[in-house]
Amino acid sequence: MKTQAKLFFSVILILSLGCISSSVSRFIPAYLYYANVNPSQATAIYYLAPSAINAQQLALSNAQLRQLAQLNDSSAAYQLALRFLQQGDYKGAKLWWQPYFSDFTTTQQLTLSDKLVATTQWHELARLFQAGQLPQGSAKQAFLLHQKMPVEQITSAYAQQQQFVLSAVHLQPSDQCRFNVLMMTDHYKGIATLKHFKQQYTNKPEPAKGSFCFTDIVYVADTFNCDGSSGALSCNWQNAAARSWPAGFDFIVMMSQQGAANVLGGIMHINSSQSYAVFLHELMHFNGFEDEYALPEQKQQWLCKQQGQVAPNLFIANQSSPPKGWQKSLACGNKKAYKPSPNWSIMQYQTMGLSAQYRQLWQKQINQPLTQPVRFSEYFAFLGVKPVFTTASREQKFSD
């Protein structure tokens, strides 16, 4: 009875110190002051008025939140975890969310999981997933994408929300562009990167408006077993035969997690850490432009033995003089290669950007091509792959 009276008196004291009748925000400092001077009864007082404390946690300092968390206040631990995540202190954040995660509300779990995605804490998300604690929601879907999980595990609602598609079958080519390009990726970061590239291109089409149209981003999971661990990014396109493809498209952009960018048979392989400048450089390869740094030895063996203008930006002077104004290029080891400009270009260093001269060359190549570009469907045929196309496709002749 005496103890209850003492506790009651203590609560009255806290309420009077904090003037809680007019503002619960003033209850918090008063409570923390009392917790410091009389810690033996702080826990009991806290549990008499937790809502007054929880309602004002955003205004508390980290030190005050720590005191509350030490009283097993999961909401205080949650606020600390969020703060440390926002500050980039991931180890500090883990100290507060990991022991309390199962005590967080569903809303708190979802918000924290989203923060872990935003800060690319994939290892921690994997821990939650393996423990069966990762809640159903956007963060779990993002984690599944990051893990290249099968398309069937991704919900159509999430795909619609994030503006990507789970199948290319129903995509339609645009009649507003000369070339139509399928945009595909096998992982989470690739979706955001390709959307960014597409937006940049839309803002400033190259070499001119109406040159290229890009589809919505298609998530294909690990269907094509793309790998770039040993250098150039490559994919197993033999697996293309097992899929249905929309007809009327010219090229594919396939984005994976690692590997050097390259174009092969109408397919651009690029990783999600590369820049838009690299994307633009590779896009020019679709139209036959060659690199202006030293070409791979295997390519030099056949290309550098040819004669004349073999690409919009490459002249091989084996038995003739180069066009007026053209300068030596590093492309061929036999020193017979010439390029249109003495200056560095986007085909030598992507960071140089697209010059007016090379924009004109690109536009001319589209309008009056030296050689016809290779479509991905032609490349599939060259490999002996016979995918199913959903509508009548263009008749194209394999070249190059």
Contacts of 316 (CB under 8 A, 6+ apart): 303, 304, 305, 306, 307, 308, 310, 332, 336, 337, 338
Mean of pLDDT over the chain:
87
Q: Please tell me whether residues 240 and 341 are part of one structural domain.
A: no
Determine the pLDDT at residue 2.
Answer: 45
Establish if 68 belongs to a structural domain: yes
279 lies in the same domain as 311: no
User: Does residue 170 sit in the same domain as residue 265?
Assistant: yes
Closest CA to 120 of 106, 139, 97, 104: 139
pLDDT tens-digit readout, 362-380? 999 999 999 899 999 999 9
Q: What is the arithmetic mean of pLDDT over 348-359?
A: 93
Single residue among 263, 288, 313 that ends a domain in this structure: 288
pLDDT tens-digit series, residues 15-33: 443 443 334 444 455 445 4
> How many Å apart are CA 217 and CA 165, to the nearest integer?
6
Same domain, 280 and 172: yes
If asked whether residues 308 and 257 sit together in one domain, one would say no
Residue 10 lies in a domain: yes
What's the CATH number where 283 sits? 3.40.390.10
Does a structural domain hold residue 392?
Answer: no
Are 325 and 256 part of one and the same domain?
no
pLDDT tens string 301-352: 999 999 999 999 999 998 889 999 999 999 999 899 999 999 999 999 988 8
pLDDT of residue 62: 85
Same domain, 348 and 258: no
User: Residue 360 pLDDT more than 90?
Assistant: yes
Asked if pLDDT for residue 201 goes beyond 60, the answer is yes
Out of 103, 123, 151, a domain closes at 103
Q: Which residues of 195-216 are buried (b: 16+ CB within 10 A; e: fewer)?
A: bebbeebeeeebbeeebbbbbe
Average pLDDT over residues 251-263: 97
Q: Are residue 216 and residue 255 in the same domain, yes or no?
A: yes
**Cα atoms found within 13 Å of the Cα of residue 339, Cβ hemisphere only:** 21
Question: What pLDDT is attached to residue 390?
Answer: 86
Looking at the fold, whether 350 and 323 belong to one and the same domain comes out as yes
pLDDT digits (tens, 9 = 90+) for 161-184: 999 999 999 999 999 999 999 999
Domain end among 238, 260, 288: 288
* pLDDT at position 123: 96
Residue 182 contacts residue 252 (beta carbons within 8 Å): yes
Of residues 2 and 114, the one with the higher pLDDT is: 114
* In a shared domain, residues 278 and 325: no
| 2 or 387, greater pLDDT | 387
- Over 50: is that where the pLDDT of 10 sits? no
Would you say residue 387 lies in a domain? no
Which residue range(s) make up the domain with 29? Answer: 2-103
Strand order in the sheet with 337-339: 308-311, 314-316, 337-339, 327-328
Q: Examine residue 294 and state whether it is found in any structural domain, yes or no.
A: no
Residue 260 inside a domain? The answer is yes
Is 384 among the domain residues? Answer: no
What is the pLDDT at residue 16? 41
Q: Is 251 helix (H, G, I), strand (E, B) or coil?
A: strand
5 has pLDDT over 80: no
Helix ranges, 188-268 (H)? 188-203
Kindly state whether residue 400 falls inside one of the protein's structural domains: no
Give the mean pLDDT of 58-77. Answer: 84
How many structural domains compose the chain? 3
- Together in a domain, 231 and 317: no
Give yes or no: residues 170 and 283 share one domain: yes
**Are the C-beta atoms of residues 230 and 161 closer than 8 Å to each other?**
no
